[in-house]
Chain A
Amino acid sequence: MSTVISIESLNKSYDKQSVLSGLNWQVSQGDIVGLLGKNGAGKSTLLKSLLNIDEIDGGQISVFDEAHHSLSISSKEKIGYVPQENDEITWLPVTDLIKFRKQFYQQWSDEKVNYYLDKWQIDTRKKMIELSPGQAQKVLIILALASMPKLLIFDEPASALDPAGRRDLLKELVNLACDENITVIFSTHITSDLERLASKVAILDKGKICYFDDLDKTKENVVQLVMHGQQLSQQQIPNALRSDIKGNNTYCVVTKVDLIWLEEQKQQGVKIDIKPMGLEDIFLEITAS
């Protein structure tokens, strides 16, 4: 699969405070990536930087194999972005806002726009300011989808939506992923949004992408080991993230189970249980400390 986004040693700081430092990341075509990070970890900054909305301090970013600051128009047409905050013009009715946005594109699908307006029951005569936050968010999503992008970037897509609206959006993304081989990146701090949909999970922490792997592999690899009747320190367990000793047992979270080590332990008669972990716990373990 071809690489859609490639980031090398990205640095970005705001008012002398470093947000991203030496960040490397590659996203392949067709990936649906959930970008996880705590509040203030720099998820929005990363997305805005790679879109060239924010200027970067250093590093290379390429999107569709072109430098991100000099994208060709045809590549720009292939990108859809939904910002975290609704900063659209407040006084325009939805229909005029759509016409306004259309002015910026060569490729624009009115059918698609109407399909979603209909589906999400948005009153196009209403001004943006009169819409509920959820509806306004949907309008932003429609604006991003109207140019039929191949790369969709959502910054906290579900933040303004109620649970039903969230489901709607996720469902739509599933359909899009089915029909067109699009690449989606969405940032969130809510793991449950990501678990159903994402094929990959990236975790942004301390200015770097500190973890990036298949969601399924992540769930298979990152597990909790319970060693009954054993007291082991963290150094004695391969790939350990954190270990705790409670009573006679050792509880340890590992990023990957070392099968040879596991076999050795079993032969020594140590009873080890492997317990799977939910993504939320995995996220907390990886970003802890």
Chain B
Amino acid sequence: MTQFSISASSGIPIYKQLCTQIERMILTDAFSQGEVLPSVRQVASELEVNPMTVSKAYGLLEERGVLTRLRGKGMAVAKQAPEKSNKERLLVLSAMIDELVKEAMLMGLTDDELTKLFKEKLDAEYSLAVIKE
């Protein structure tokens, strides 16, 4: 069973947290295309959240075309064109980078310092991937 995790006390509504998480999990292939998601009841009971919250998240993702409703089976990951998916990946990332840049500005980091750090991290991650292979 896939584990979602939410933070109830954060200011972001739980259904939004679920949406972003499911989207991210689809993008990172934690959910493959066509895979059936756990039922509303399962998720609600596991996270101890109101089932309406879970349905709301599922409904929203269905509207966006990320999920499709299967009759009698629940929700499944929609089959999407890969290039569109790539675009969305960048969209999600860009939101995260926004946050990062904001923080860096507040800390008073310069552009150079930030880019250098980003490159370093990227290299480290890349070399790790190589070792794994």
Complex CA–CA separation, A216 to B50 (angstroms): 11
**A213 contacts partner chain B, Cβ-Cβ < 8 Å:** no
B residues 43-73 with Cβ under 8 Å of A? 44-45, 47-53, 56
Could you tell me if A178 and B51 are in contact, using CB atoms closer than 8 angstroms?
yes
Does A171 belong to the interface (CB within 8 Å)?
Answer: yes
Residues of B within 8 A of A (CB): 8-16, 40-41, 44-45, 47-53, 56, 102
Interface pair A177/B48, CB less than 8 Å apart = no
* A278 and B9 contact, CB distance less than 8 A: yes
Q: With an 8 A cutoff between CB atoms, is A167 at the interface?
A: yes
Interface of B is mostly: helix
Shortest Cβ gap from B78 to chain A (Å): 24
Q: List 20 A-B contacts (CB under 8 A).
A: A171-B48, A174-B45, A174-B51, A177-B52, A195-B14, A196-B8, A196-B14, A196-B47, A197-B49, A199-B50, A199-B52, A215-B13, A216-B13, A216-B14, A223-B11, A273-B102, A276-B11, A277-B11, A278-B9, A279-B9
Distance A12 CA – B13 CA, assembled complex (angstroms): 35
With an 8 A cutoff between CB atoms, is A198 at the interface? yes
Cross-chain contact A178 with B8 (CB below 8 angstroms): no
Do A216 and B53 touch (CB < 8 A)?
Answer: yes
Chain A 192-230, CB-CB to B under 8 Å as 1, else 0, gives: 100111110000000000000001100110010000000
Contacts of A276 in B (CB 8 A): 10-12
Bound-state CA distance A167–B46 (Å) is: 11
Q: Across the interface, name the chain B residue whose C-beta is closest to A170.
A: B48
Tell me, yes or no, whether A287 is within 8 Å of chain B by CB: no
Given contacts A216-B53, A278-B9, 4 further A-B contacts (CB under 8 A): A170-B48, A177-B50, A199-B53, A216-B16
- The interface size of chain A toward B, counting residues with CB under 8 Å, comes to 28
Say yes or no: A171-B10 contact (C-beta < 8 A), given A216-B56, A273-B102.
no
Q: Kindly report which residue of chain B lies nearest to residue A282, judged by CB atoms.
A: B11
Residue of B at shortest CB range from A168? B48
Residues on B with beta carbons closer than 8 Å to the beta carbon of A124: none
User: Is there an interface contact between B12 and A174, defined as CB atoms closer than 8 Å?
Assistant: no
Q: CB-defined interface of A263-276 with B at 8 Å, one 1/0 digit per residue?
A: 00000000001011
- Tell me the bound Cα distance from A99 to B97 in angstroms: 62
In Å, the complex CA distance between A278 and B8 comes to 8
Answer yes or no: A191 CB below 8 A from chain B CBs: yes
Q: Which residues from chain B contact A178 at a C-beta distance below 8 Å?
A: 40-41, 44-45, 51
